[in-house]
Each structure stands twice: as structure tokens, then as C-alpha cells.
Chains A and B, each alone.
Chain A
Amino acid sequence: MYAQSVLTALIAWPAIAAVVVLAAPERWAKHIALAASLLEFAISVPLWWVFQPAGGMQLQLDVPWIPSWGIHYTVGVDGISLFMVLLTTFLVPLSILGSYNYITTRERAFYALMLVLTSGMIGVFVSLDLFLFYVMWDVMLIPMYFIIGVWGGQNRLYAALKFFVYTFFGSLLMLVAILTLVYLVAQRTGVYSFSYVHLMSNIGALGTVAFWLFGAFFLAFAIKVPMFPFHTWLPDAHVEAPTAGSVLLAAVLLKMGTYGFLRFALPFFPQVALHPAVQAAIVTLSLIGIVYGGLVAMAQPDFKKLIAYSSVAHLGFVMLGIWALTLQSVQGALMVMINHGISTGALFFLVGMLYERRHSRLIEAFGGIAKVVPLFAAVLTIVSLSSIGLPATNGFVGEFLVLLGAFRTYPIAAGVATTGVIVAAMYLLPALQRVIYNPLDKPENAQLADLSPRELAVLLPLVACIVWIGVYPTPFLRRMEPSAQRFIESVRPAAPAAAAR
């Protein structure tokens, strides 16, 4: 019963709750939304134990949706999507709790959109039907557009439109590619089906058209990741979005890009992905992302922008890890995906809390506040260190595995990527110093309030995860290993064949 319906419940429940929130009185909205998201999290927690690491795709439900077009409602999770689902359900209650004071207008609409967004995000990660995936991809897009565009900062309309057009451009290309793929497979098998499993097992050799299809998928996902040079929507969107929007954008939405590569782009078109030129291009772009993202982050005066660019660098590690196709690097990439969600999410919360107090995100506006807000400073330090990748925090586990694995495939590239470790310290530590250390020379900072219990409730789970994953990531690694193995096998066998040709 649980196994059959849990994923559907996870998709449906937030949508239902959104309606309830809309119908409720304005001042109750946030409490109802929080309760709903906590229930959502509670529903998802047993997944941790129910999930069978070696069981492949599981907890599946398959219901015909539009049978005449071969469209089904198919959902399921494996070791790759499981953690994305859990990360989402874990972060949504925190985001809602973190928005309690931040959102003061149109609360009902905001929390309803947050819940709809949750549905979309879960849907993207569990869809096993490409049509359903596409629908969910867009379902997730629209609430985020409104969250940025309505509750954002000064330049919110520009940022929201940029975010929307950019992502939508990619998603339309993806739609074309999906339709073409379905058509091509249907020509071979005579069955029109959007089913992931069906397409995977019947995709065969596509020849040159594979390059075009891969290109379309690549653009859709690379924009979402975002890879250099498709990243410029991200700083704008992050800076303008309200805290909860930034958190979910960084923690979950960016992961959809890398998830897309893991689930679709590589397994569908291994011969393209392993083409030397494609490999070289993507690894180079990842490296540019790592080093360039870090260096640009170093120059940012705006704390949120700095974090946004640091995301570009972190996601560069993920892409490198995926493309290196070793077990360590792929597991590392998955870990970085989780860790980035936690650490960067926490960083956005912290900056948001600063913003609530001072209405400024500029690093310059602060200085020396560790004396006034020691608790805040302690949490910010821990989170920054995890983002830098200090050993025994979660950041290290992911980056280390990625680099270790990537070094086997691309030693030079991994060496270059390792300089990202230095760069990470070079952008985050000076910012940290200029915010919480240095002389307390701005009188308006002398009266800042330290973290409230509510804010601690938002941050402590994240800090706990930072330490937990840093010290004992084995439960994560064990659950994802078989799926990572299968992912590599779905891509690698094509290698000898491609070489023979």
C-alpha cells in the first residue's frame, strides 16, 4: 500500500494542501503550509528504509493517462532520485518556516505556490514517463516564476522573466527532442510510448540524429545546471528571489539539470556522450564553471550573488563527476548534489536572515558582527566551511569523491578542478571575514538581534546534516551505489562499440 502510493501521495498532497491554503484565512496560511509540508516530509521519511538499494527502479506505479498517445502516469525511484526527493521534502518545510517573517504580502498565494512548486519538484524526480516529466518540468517552472516575480527584490521582473524564458527555451527544445525520440523509436518498434523503460530498451543506434537530440537535451539541462556560459540567469534570479525561492532554486531546481543528465541525456545517447569532442567540450565547460565561477564569486559585492556564482562552481564539480563515469565520481557527484542543496540552502537562509535585519545583502554593509550575534556567526562559519569543503563536513565527501574518481578518467582536468578547492577558500573566507569579523564599525550593526528560536529551528537541521554527512556518509553512499553502477553500465558498454567504429 505504502510502496504503491507513496510517490503519488508526495506529488498530490502538496497540490491539495495548496488549495486548502488558498481557501484558508490569510493569517493561517503559513501555519497550514508548514503543517502540510511537515506531513509531506513525514510521508517521505519511511522511503529511507523502504528503499532497497539493490532493487533498481522501485515503488513504481503505472497508470495509463492518454493511452492513445502512449502516455502513462509512471512514477518510481532509484538510488539517484531517492535522495533528490528526500532533499526536496526536507528543505520545503524549512523554506516555509524560514519565510515566516520574510513574506508579508499575499501570504496565501505565496505558500500555495510553494506547495505547488513542491509537487512539481517531486514530480520531476519521480517521473518515468517522458511526457509526465516534461509536464512536471513546466509545473515546477511557473510557481518559481511567480515567487521571484511577485515577492522578489528591486529588479524582480527582469530576473523572473530571464529565468522563465531561459528555462522555457531549454524545455521546449527538450520537448522537440522527446517527441522526435518517441517517433524514431515508434518507427522501429511500432509502439508509440513515452515510457522511459520502453525508450531505454529500444533506443538502439540512432546515428547522427542522436547528436541533435543530445544537443537539445543538453541545452535544456545545461541551462538548468547551469553550466558556463548558460549561467547568467542564475545570479539575477538568486539575488532577486525571496529567501525561500533562492533556497529551493539552488538546492533543488539546479539539481534537475544534473539529474536530467544522469537519467536521460547520458543513458539515452551514450555514443554521443562518449564522443571525444563532446567529452572534451563538457569537461572543459565544467572546469571553466569551477574556476571561473569561483573567481567571479570572489569579485562580488553582493553576498547572494557570491553564493550564486559559487553554485556555478559546485555544479561544475557535479558535471565533471558525472562525465568521468567512475563509481567514485558519480557517487561523489550525487553527494555534491545533496551537499550543495544543504550547504548553499543554509547559506541563503543565513543571508536572508541578515537581509531581514538590515535590508541589505551587500557584504560591505556588515563587519564585526560576530561580537553581536555569536550564534549566527558560529552557524555561518560552519556552513561556509562546509561549502568550502572542509574535511569532516559534507562538502568534502562529495568533492573528494568526485575528484578522486575523475582523476582516474581525466587526470589533468581533475587537477585543474582541484584548484577550485583553493578558489573556494578565496571567495568565501574573505566574505566571511568582511561580514562577521573585522572592526564593528557600522553603528547600525551594533544592535542586531541574534538568531531567534524559529531561525535556529530552520538552521539546526541543516547543520546536523552537514556534520552527519561529513562524518558518516556511508548510508547515503550504500543506497546510491547500485544505481550509480547501473548508470555507468548504461553508458559505458557503448564505449568499445564506438571505438570499434
Chain B
Amino acid sequence: MLLGPALFVSAALFTLGVFGVLLRRNAIVIFMCVELMLNAVNLTFVALAQRLGVAGQLFVFFVMAVAAAEAAVGLAIILAIYRHRGTVNLQNINLLKG
């Protein structure tokens, strides 16, 4: 019954997350947008779990675990970068260039 609206909200949130990732340069904000996308997906899982079984909710559980780990490592990386460069603005970080 709530499936359709929930999926719609999830899609909108996900798009906003992508939009944010593309729009911003601040690494931390981009990180938050990624979290937003993860949550949008979580919403989908939960919505579908109603009709497809409890496994959907379990996946949310795992996604949270991954998100926590990712946040910890990712933020640590940002910290390290900030120490090196003095900024978290991605425009000034091009360490990946070969």
C-alpha cells in the first residue's frame, strides 16, 4: 500500500544524493551525500521487505554496518588528507593523477 510512495521517496532521495555529490566540492559534504544515498537505498529495502520477506530488513542492517565502517575509514582518510593539504576541497586534491 505504501510501496509506491516509498519507492518514489527513495528515488527522489537517491537523486538528491547524486546531485549533491556532483554539486559539492567539500569532501565531508560529499560524504554526507553518500550517506543520503545509502539511506535512500535502505528505504527501498524496507519498503520491499513488506512484501518480499524479512531479508530486506536484514540487508539494511548490513548496510548500516558497512556505512559505519566506511564513515570511520573515510573520515580518517579525510583527516589525513587535511593534514597534508590543509583543505578538504576536492578541487585542490589530485593525488590520483598518474
Direct interface between A and B, CB < 8 A:
no
Q: Which residues of B are interface residues toward A (Cβ below 8 A)?
A: none
Q: Which residues of A are interface residues toward B (Cβ below 8 A)?
A: none
